[in-house]
Amino acid sequence: MQPCPVSCPRPTLTQFKSTDTVVSAAATGPFVNFRYNKAAVVSHVLKEVHTRGTAYGFTNEGAGKRIVVEYSSPNIAKPFHAGHLRSTIIGNFIANIYQGNGYDVTRINYLGDWGKQYGAAHACKHGSGVQRRLLTSGGRTGHTVQHAGLLAVGFERFGSEAELAADPIKHLYNVYVAINVRRYATRRDRHAHELGPT
C-alpha cells in the first residue's frame, strides 16, 4: 500500500531563492507550493508580448525532432459520437503546441478497425461455401474469418442496398451487430450440444 502523500518526507528548500515573480516556496508533505507576485508576472508577460509580437509563445526547442499526434481515429463500423469530436479537438491543440515549439508534427486521423468487420469483400462473393459456413456458425478458424470478412458475410445475410444507400454507417453497424449476435449464439448452441444434457 502506498503511503499517504502528506506523511512522506518534506523536500528541502535550502537552495530556493526568491525572485521578482516567485516570492516564496513552502513544503507540505512531498509537495512544494509556490507563491507568485501577480503584478510582476502580468508585467513580464505583457512586455514579452509587446517585444515578440506574433512570435510570442513560439520556441525552437523542438527543432530537428519529430512527433506523431493521433486524433480520434474512429471505428468505421460504428456510429460517430461526441467523443470522436473531443479527441480530434484535443489532438489538434496538442499538435499546434508542438508545432509552435519547432517540432516536425505528423497528424494522423485514420479510419480504424478495418480488420474482421470488413476483411476482403471479394472473398465473400467468390469464397467457398466452407468459408461462409465457418463465419456464420462461429467456426474456430480465425484466419478464415479474417480473410473472408465478417461484415461482408453479414451483409449477404442481413444487408439491404436501399438501407445502405440511405444511411451507410448506421446500416453497416446494424449488420455488424446482427452477424455477431448470430455468430456467438450459434457458437453457444454448438458448445451446449458438445457438453450434452446436464
Active site residues: 78, 81, 84
Bridge partners, 27 (sequence order): 32
Quick one: how far is CA 77 from the chain centroid? 15
Residue 149, exposed/middle/buried by CB under 10 A (0-12, 13-18, 19+)?
buried
CA-only gyration radius of the chain, Å:
29
- Pull the grid cell for residue 172: 453497416
